[in-house]
Structure 1
Amino acid sequence: MSIPTAAPKVAIVLFNLGGPDKPEAVRPFLVNLFTDPAILRVPFFVRPWLARIIAYARTKPATANYALLGGKSPLLELTEQQARALEAALPDLQARCFVAMRYWHPFSDAVARAVRDWDPDEVVLLPLYPQYSTTTTGSSLTAWREAAAQAGLVKPVTSLCCYHSDPGFAAATAAIVRRSYDEARADLAADVPLRVLFSAHGLPETIVKRGDPYQFQIERTVAAVTRQLGVDGLDTTICYQSRATPQKWIGPSTEQELHRAAHDKVAVLVVPIAFVSEHSETLVELDVEYRHLAEKAGLPGYFRAPTQSADPGFIAALASLVRGARARGPGLCSFAGGRTCPRPHGDCPHARAAATDAATDIETVPRAA
């Protein structure tokens, strides 16, 4: 199908974390990660020094993990696959997807220049983080605004903050989980129970208590996906992985839930609910480390659902989100249009906008569950 020449020329910027592209990049990648004030929340004059100490301590184990993946992260290649699939899913637009990574190449500054040179009619910022957090989408949006200003990129911009319980996203995710659930169930004896562990990346508890809506949105995602699964009496729990600092993190941890499953003598299906692409935290942490822990603990079965990656249903959901965001016009929007987080979540980007703009619509906020 040919694209009409009058179709809008739309640059879609896909935000993701990024990952080292060779063993020598592991330490600078970690330095970039921990130098981010959204990640390491300490006084600015301490952060560069402390970031290098943490990166130094984590370089050896991180390098070992990436060695299991061929010495680099697969995230860039997988995100590029998603970008090309999304372009194909938008035949009514002159759409071009650009990938902007937060902590390794391609960084936002280079991507902003590439978008400027392509000269689109408008820009849509699409995070590959379904749930908003100040540490992920928030940090990426800040980096993009700075990069766009430096590049002289002045175009109408629509920023999609989250799509945690978007019906299309939930349905596509549920279809993937249901296939994995049915495969796991078929592999188990009829008398062995199966529990679904929805595992998300963790956050320090202090960040959530300060108003970050991430945990609330994780819960909304799980509720939406579980409804779409349609399994009567489904045994589910939410847990969190990838703790990176000594402070208290939100829980329960995925490790704790594996031990509880062993105690309850149930098999588990682990669903990486906050990741939409395979990378070290799924391919190593879930597939190697937690599988070993499950076997050592004596679980009767350990299964893992794949991430969405370039699944056609997921790509179709992203295309629908792009169309919905464009229909709402330039500015900040969620999958539902306005704010979706209860008032206590003051770090919701809509809440921050409301603090400086009394006209911001907050009537779409549902009651807290």
Structure 2
Amino acid sequence: MRYGIVGTGYWGKNHVRVATELRDAGAIDEVVICDADGERAADLASTYDVAYTTRHDRLAVDAASVATPSPTHEDIATDLLRSGTDLLVEKPLALSADAAWNVVETAREEGRTLGVGHIFRYHPGLRELKRLIDAGELGEVEYLHTARFAFRVPRDTTGVLYSLAVHDVDAYDYLLGERPDRVHCTMNSTHRDDIDETTTLTLEYGDRTGVIHSSWQIPVFGKRRDLAVVGTDGAAYLDYLADTEVEVYDASIVADASGDLRKRDEGKTVHEAADAEPLKTELREFVAAVEGGRDPPASGRVGARTVELLERAATAADAGQILEVPVRTRSVERMNTD
């Protein structure tokens, strides 16, 4: 397989590193990189001993990662899909639901494999947490809470809703196996017009609630990425930065024989998942999906559904309301085949 990487900036260069590691391991045959910045592409090509081009229409590969800025995803992805290239597009798949579903439809028409870089579906700790939830270790999930904080200058292309909260919207979909019924969202923009620096997102799944806090404007915690899931029989805590550990708390509120409520707390256990770099797992599973002619775990449909929800959240923030989450006909068709 001849594999390409389009976009070699902050995250794209990690795709280059991992792709060359897969090449060296024999999982793919050749790597080609593409970046409009010819000097950057040449330097990286020299470092990793790969070919390069400055135009994606001259890439000529079997499969590729697209790690360019989000506003370019739709055009580059549709061009490459129509040229016969299977694609892994970094999240978000696009910046509007219509654009995202256009990419998905193009992949369907061309008979191509399409994946989206929802990398936390490949995080060893989150995969272990998913296993525990599915096994009923927490009982019925009632509440989820995520904090994703950093202190940095806001980007000039997308805010935290599409840059940070996107991860957790998809993670909740992955853990619960369903979409929310209603959404409420608040967004704060101070330094750049129309670029949200802090977002609070509340998702309702029937009787279950998921809360997502994302911000680039909190210097208090350093870099913080964590998730708590509370169920009827226990709770779990995942520090994404710890990679492999999931803390499970054998604790709940119970009623005694007289009907009085009391706290039951039997302590915690730590579950250790096998260590694996999420990006390498993602690329390896994408390559396997291409070779097998099937969808990867984070398919194009997964990516488009996430963009739909982000778009609805932004609408809810603008309206200052709690909004129902409608499901388009074509979205339902695709969900039913996942």
Q: What is the TM-score normalised by the length of structure 2? A: 0.36
Q: What is the TM-score normalised by the length of structure 1? A: 0.34
Higher relative strand content: 2
Higher relative helix content: 1
